[in-house]
Amino acid sequence: MRHTEFWARMDDALGDSYARSWADLYVISDLGGRTAAQALAAGVPPKEVWAAVWRVLELPATKR
Q: Give the confidence band of 63 by pLDDT, cuts at 50, 70, 90.
A: confident
9-42 b/e (C-beta count within 10 Å ≥ 16 → b): bbeebbeeeebeebbeeeebeebeebbbbbbbee
Question: What pLDDT, in 10s, does the model give residues 22-61?
Answer: 999 999 999 999 999 999 999 999 999 999 999 999 998 9
Residue 44: closest CA among 8, 6, 18: 6
- Mean pLDDT for 1-16 is 96
What pLDDT does 24 receive? 97
pTM recorded for the entire structure? 0.93
Q: Give the confidence band of 3 by pLDDT, cuts at 50, 70, 90.
A: very high
